[in-house]
Chain A
């Protein structure tokens, strides 16, 4: 049996750009030091994944990101036997790999995964810090530097996609939201190279769409959408067209709502 994972497979060499919204960096560092797993809450596209990349760079640990989907099973995380050249060989899953090499493991949108996956992380997420591998009989003890982080979007209005208390009470929770206007403008400028004025108009547009949340719109435009729009504009696409394709059409299919969002767009640009 051999471990196929490369050493330090995703160590960040340069600093991933991240602007702190509050004290999340200090909080994360403190939790990391104390071996406490972390739950990131917040709407889509507000910088959770980027924050993880930044923290991995800061703590000089590799980052293993798993985007959870509804077909993700426990063995997808832990690992499985495969046949290699007529021999059976155990291949670690991303979680086991992270546990072994002391990486930061980030399970994105954990509620999307099958229920059995959340159970796998339970022994890892308390003071035992172990990952039992049923198939090999191994009780994998987490490396000193291993850290578990999961993310979850509480804005989903589905009763079936809720995090169980037994899971959520193992984590400290850091809440994310859209950055303040100035900070968000700064982020858009930095990420896209757009001039400050246009960037601040984009942010203003995003705030307007966020005002519509709850009245037909599930989520307002995220920072990520603004970055997309900014990049389109930088590639020579007309501002109005960029806003329509990257923001309005991306947000909703409902014609009435779409008309209103476009109306706001034409008033702005």
Chain B
């Protein structure tokens, strides 16, 4: 039975109450909705709730238009219409969002294409992984109306609507991402040496012409195309199958044929550009996936990266030399003797070889990866960069410390003092950090229940997978009693008996829960940078985790940490080992707020000390973080990383197993150094954090 006008009006009023007034009522909407079928009514009411959850005003606009929309489109299309409007609201705000709801005609007109268009939003994750697979370098995918690359990120359009079928549009998006990756991989922005003139400068030396940039880009794009075709023949075949790709005239084709040779480089593209400009050859049609080029942005980013790489390279080489020294495999005994390091990457199979004093050495994987990355920016790495071991005594960064921030006014919170490791001094700074154990102000009490409701399916899944962990039934052999006969034991007992020995009574199999003896401590990053989504995700992650851990029965404790300078490091107790998960713990989780900075070392030392009082077979310290260690007084960069690393080594020496879960996509650059090669997990999407934390824990203790 469809609802009546009065019933509908009551329902709508309840939902839309905040945006209604005496002149703005829902009676008209209720009347028109009452004409609809029950199914349509349910559909409208269900979507109304969803839209109102985003914005009540938008909800009002929705309900006034939905009857008209349903009269002209099928429900599937109406759904697209709402989702489209919500998307527009998310990106551009309320006014364009309501406009999209009102203009049903426009939507219907474009709906044919809407079904075929491919949105970046839906493909972003897939493409991100795809690009990561192609290149070792972690490339971000961002949206921009001018698809281009700045060598750090690939910018792709929000929507691809070039072809009339979805499959082809998807292919164009993939080809575009590949093409922009190819520009980096096949050296569009590559320089011979760090001091060689960049592309921007070299282009400015060519004759001026309004089409200069476009001609250069068209030619270079064709060169890249050829490189990609060689590298990825499968993609080439798919692209060849696309219809309606513009053909070139004879002049262009000649140039393209030459540029498609495997030996062609950016130098050839520039040569041909000069020729084309001189002969005033008109532009040709470019292929839909070529995108555009932003040389300035690319060179900026590549320059910054090279600077960073240079110092990191020096450090890696220094580590290598120290390691070789320790192994005594360097021929020279005089340590002050200048080492000659050279790199041979000219051999045709692109295998790099590093030699020290003429003797070839094996490169550690991090060094190889770094060099491979750098060779995408430079044709040749200058020898002085390889031999930079003399100038690595760089500015410490932490000497600007002691800003004399007043220590927090005396209060009753317990105070602890901890040493801090100074990697340059290679010594501890005694009693350097002051740590306060603070209480967390309780947040609103409904938070936990709301989160559980929001994630009810996830909670269910997690509970199940944690139950499996808990109930992992172990069959114990040779038990004095049990639920089955242990045949091995019986045979053995028989042999014993026949040999005249005493027969054992341990003849049974017993199925028993494995006794997990795990104590786990979570330290949650509450630095200012977690403000917004991240801290929300952390809160939710903790709720899901507590729910799951309660099922499992592992002992656990949760602490938050933050602080400002070494004089005020703060630790917030959320749950101690001895506490049970109750209402006040739930409120503390809800009360988590982002604070100041992240001084990790001192927190790890304090928690290690706390953990040391706990007796368990496996003890875990899991850090939830959003970035590198960082504090106001110079606790950053190498200093912060090295102190944190030292603190983690101390923890490991006490038999505590550290692990880190981070949402920093760059995490894999520094976490292996701090936590060890396998003791971290990068969660690439904040929204996944709540679920991932529990899953990682599940994996970790399986």
Contacts and interface: CB of A to CB of B under 8 A. Distances in A.
B349 A182 contact: yes
B129 A208 contact: no
Contacts of B679: 157
Nearest to B680: A214
A159 B668 contact: no
Contacts of A86: 498
Contacts of A236: none
Contact of A264 (B134, B362, B684, B702): B134
Interface in A136-159: 154-159
B351 A83 contact: no
Interface SS of A by simple majority: mixed
B133 A264 contact: yes
A257 B491 CA distance: 50
Interface in A163-192: 177, 180-182
A81 B679 CA distance: 44
Nearest to B171: A266
B169 interface: no
Interface stretch (B211-219, B230-238, B595-603): B230-238
B287 interface: no
A157 B678 contact: yes
Given A211-B135, A260-B133, A160 B702 contact: yes
A260 B134 CA distance: 11
B678 A268 contact: no
A73 interface: yes
Contacts of A159: 518, 618, 620, 657, 700-701
B38 interface: no
B471 to A, nearest CB: 16
B686 interface: no
Contacts of B499: 81, 88
Given A157-B679, A160-B701, A267-B234, A208 B492 contact: no
A215 B684 contact: yes
Interface SS of B by simple majority: helix
Nearest to A183: B351
Contacts of B488: 80
B235 A81 contact: no
A82 interface: yes
A157 B700 contact: yes
A261 interface: yes
A211 B492 contact: no
Interface string B233-247: 111001000000000
A240 B234 CA distance: 9
Contacts of B365: 177
A19 B475 CA distance: 42
Interface in B672-690: 677-679, 681-682, 684
Interface string A231-269: 000000000100000000000000011011101111111
A256 B125 contact: yes
Contacts of A155: 677-678
A209 interface: yes
A27 to B, nearest CB: 13
A181 B351 contact: yes
Interface size class of B (residues with CB under 8 A): 35 or more
B212 to A, nearest CB: 32
B498 A83 contact: yes
Given A181-B351, A264-B134, A81 B496 contact: yes
A209 B351 CA distance: 20
Interface string A66-106: 00000101000000111100111000000000000000000
A216 B702 contact: no
A209 B491 contact: no
A193 to B, nearest CB: 21
B232 A268 contact: yes
Interface centre among B129, B178, B518, B657 (most CB of A within 10 A): B129
A82 B491 contact: yes
B130 interface: yes
A163 B701 CA distance: 15
Contacts of A158: 699-702
B380 interface: no
Interface centre among A73, A157, A260, A263 (most CB of B within 10 A): A263
Contacts of B495: 81-83, 88
A212 interface: yes
Interface centre among B133, B231, B499, B700 (most CB of A within 10 A): B133
A208 B129 CA distance: 10
Nearest to B136: A211
Contact of A157 (B238, B351, B699): B699
Given A80-B492, A154-B678, A158-B699, A256 B362 contact: no
B618 A266 contact: no
A14 B629 CA distance: 56
B132 A212 contact: yes
Interface string B242-265: 000000000000000000000000
Interface string A193-232: 0000000010010001101101110000000000000000
B477 interface: yes
A215 B140 CA distance: 14
A24 to B, nearest CB: 12
Contacts of B700: 157-159
B203 to A, nearest CB: 30
A263 B174 contact: yes
B126 interface: yes
Given A82-B495, A211-B136, 9 more contacts: A80-B488, A82-B491, A157-B678, A157-B700, A160-B618, A160-B701, A263-B126, A264-B133, A265-B234
23 contacts: A22-B362, A80-B492, A83-B494, A154-B677, A157-B678, A157-B679, A159-B620, A160-B701, A181-B351, A204-B231, A209-B133, A211-B134, A211-B136, A212-B133, A214-B682, A216-B129, A256-B129, A257-B129, A261-B133, A263-B126, A263-B130, A266-B234, A268-B232
Interface of A: 22, 71, 73, 80-83, 86-88, 154-160, 162, 177, 180-182, 201, 204, 208-209, 211-212, 214-216, 240, 256-257, 259-261, 263-269
